[in-house]
Structure 1
C-alpha cells in the first residue's frame, strides 16, 4: 500500500524526537510570551476604561465649562504616562521572549544537529548501497543482453556447441560417399 518501508530506522526516530522536543519547547515559549502580551493588553484596556469612566463622571458632574476642561486635561497626563509604561512593558516582553527563544534554541541545537548529521550519514550510506546494487544489476542486465546464452556456466555453452555440430552433421549435410538429393534425402554411392 505504501511505497516506503514501514520500519523507521533509529536515526530517523532520534532525529524526529529531537525535532519534536525543539518544536514543543519553542511553541511553549512563544505561547507564554503571547499570553503575557494578552494579559498586558487586557490590563491596559481595563485601566483605560477605568480612566475614561472617571473622566466621564467628572465631566458629567461638572457645573462649569472650566471644570470640564480641567477634568479632561487632568486625565490626559496620566493616560499618556500609562501608554508610555505600556510601551516599556511591551519592549521588556519582546526582549524576554527573544532571550527565551535563544535559550531554547541553544539548548536544542546541539542535539538536533547531531541527530541530523547521523540521519544524513545513514541516508548517504543507504544511497551508496542502493547505487552499488543498481549498478551491479545494470551490469548483469547488460551482460545478459550482450551474450544472451551466457546465462549458464561454460559447460552449458560447450554442450550447446557440441549438440549444434552433431545436429548439423546428421541433418542433411553432405558427407563423402553420400549424394544429396534435391528433396533433402541422401543416397549412398555404390561402386559399380
Structure 2
C-alpha cells in the first residue's frame, strides 16, 4: 500500500490546510486593498496640495511671498502624512488581529487532522511491517525446508 495514497485522514488534513490558507489569503487581500486605498487617497491629497501650492507660488508678487507660500504648503502635506501613518498602523494592527483570530480558529483543526494522518501512517506502516515480516518468515521456511515447499514432497523430481 502506498504511504501517500489518499485516505480520509489525509483528505481531512489537506482540507484543514486549504481552509486556513484561504482564510488567511482573504484577510491579506482585504488588508492590501485597504492599504491601496490609503495610498491612493494620500497621493490624491498630495497632488491637490501640490497644485494649490503651485498656484500660490505662481501668483505670488515677490520672493518673500513665494517663500511664505511654500512654507504654508508644507503644513497640509505633513498633516496628510501623519493621518496616513495613523491609518496605516490601524490597518496593520487590525490585520494582525484578524490573522491571529483566523489562526486560532483553524490551527486546532489542522493539528487534529495532522495527528490523525500521523496515527494513520503509523498504523499502516505497522501493518506493512508485519506483512513483510510474515513474508520473510515464509521465504526462510521455504529455503530451510525446500521439500516441504514442493507439492508431494518433491516426488515428481525423484521419479525422473
Matched position secondary structure for 2:109: helix
Give the Å deviation of 1:4: 5.1
Give the Å deviation of 1:145: 2.4
Matched position secondary structure for 2:13: helix
Unaligned segments of structure 1, at least 5 residues: 168-192
2:136 to 138, 142, 167: 138
* CA deviation profile, 1:54-105 (whole Å, cap 9, x unmatched): 1011111111111110010001122112112211112111111110000000
TM-score scaled by structure 1? 0.75
Pairwise CA RMSD of aligned residues?
2.3
Matched position secondary structure for 1:8: coil
Give the Å deviation of 1:152: 4.3
Matching of residue 35 in structure 1 with residue 26 in structure 2: no
Pick the structure with greater CA Rg: 1
Higher helix share: 2
Q: Number of aligned pairs?
A: 158
Q: How does 1:1-192 map to 2 (within 5 A)?
A: 8-152=6-150, 156-157=152-153, 160=155
Structure showing greater relative contact order (alpha-carbon pairs closer than 8 Å, 6 or more residues apart): 2
Give the Å deviation of 1:33: 0.6
User: Separation in 2 of the partners of 1:85 and 1:75?
Assistant: 16
Give the Å deviation of 1:24: 0.7
* CA deviation profile, 1:141-181 (whole Å, cap 9, x unmatched): 2222233222147xx44x84xx96xx8xxxxxxxxxxxxxx
Unaligned segments of structure 2, at least 5 residues: none
Q: Contact (CA 8 Å) 2:16, 2:109: kept in 1 or not?
A: yes
TM-score scaled by structure 2? 0.89
